């Protein structure tokens, strides 16, 4: 259906070498987009999956939180010619009780999850505005954009911040035909949740609250990310879409 087609679009996805980022990059390629993958390590598996779909894959190796967002976008545009879509997926997490949490762990998470996402969005928005082109920015939020969580103070703060920034950027950039929205994944079977899934008590507590009765997978985000990056979401601005197996409804 053309409403959901991303043909002739170029989508930049951060943290796309595995997990949710890889799943969303492949989904966008299936919808017709060429992919710029931004990751710390070569994303060879993602490249192979994207190219198997007949789409182009451009690699930008960068350390978000350290490397310049301006340089990242410049590298992307130099290779791909333009950017139409940004998916701010890259993220990290540190776990410790709030009473013991260190400044180092605070800064490490905030710098990647919140600061880098904002300034990368800023650079992509500048690129779109200069081209006078419409665009889509999708931030990856979390259930902890809505809830407090346990033992993850900097992660909770960063993901609550992402929800707020999504609304702020939508308020300012909707007039430029740039849609800024977010996806809040539920409990997904990824590296970030490995510690929870390895803890029998926490695993059972979490699984028992998910109405769908299972942990999510990267494939579960495919429809949501294609929708928010497509013309089907043309009048959707500043929304955070939970893809959580019903967790927030419980």
Catalytically annotated residues? 155
> What whole-number distance in Å separates Cα of residue 101 and Cα of residue 95?
8
Q: In the Cβ-directed half-sphere of 81, how many Cα atoms lie within 13 Å?
A: 6
> What whole-number distance in Å separates Cα of residue 77 and Cα of residue 91?
23
CA distances from 169 to 180, 184, 212 (A): 6, 17, 32
Report the b/e string of 62-90 with b at 16+ CB within 10 A.
Answer: bebbebebeebbebbbeebeebbbbbbbb
């Amino acid at each position: 259906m053309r409403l959901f087609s991303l043909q002739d679009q170029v989508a930049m996805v951060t943290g796309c070498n595995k997990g949710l980022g890889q799943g969303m990059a492949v989904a966008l390629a299936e919808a017709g987009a060429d992919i710029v993958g931004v990751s710390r390590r070569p994303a060879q598996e993602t490249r192979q999956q994207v190219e198997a779909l007949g789409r182009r894959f451009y690699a930008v190796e960068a350390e978000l939180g350290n490397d310049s967002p301006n340089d990242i976008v410049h590298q992307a545009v130099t290779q791909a010619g333009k950017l139409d879509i940004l998916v701010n997926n890259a993220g990290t997490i540190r776990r410790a009780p709030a009473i013991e949490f260190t400044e180092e762990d605070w800064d490490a998470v905030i710098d990647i999850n919140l600061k880098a996402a904002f300034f990368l969005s800023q650079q992509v928005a500048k690129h779109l505005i200069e081209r006078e082109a419409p665009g889509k920015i999708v931030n990856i939020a979390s259930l902890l954009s809505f809830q407090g969580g346990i033992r993850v103070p900097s992660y909770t703060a960063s993901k609550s911040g992402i929800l707020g920034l999504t609304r702020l950027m939508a308020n300012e950039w909707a007039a430029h035909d740039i849609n800024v929205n977010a996806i809040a994944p539920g409990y997904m079977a990824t590296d970030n949740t490995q510690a929870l899934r390895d803890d029998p008590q926490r695993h059972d507590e979490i699984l028992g609250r998910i109405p769908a009765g299972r942990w999510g997978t990267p494939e579960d985000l495919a429809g949501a990310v294609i929708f928010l990056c497509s013309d089907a979401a043309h009048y959707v601005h500043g929304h955070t879409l939970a893809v959580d197996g019903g967790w927030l409804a419980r």
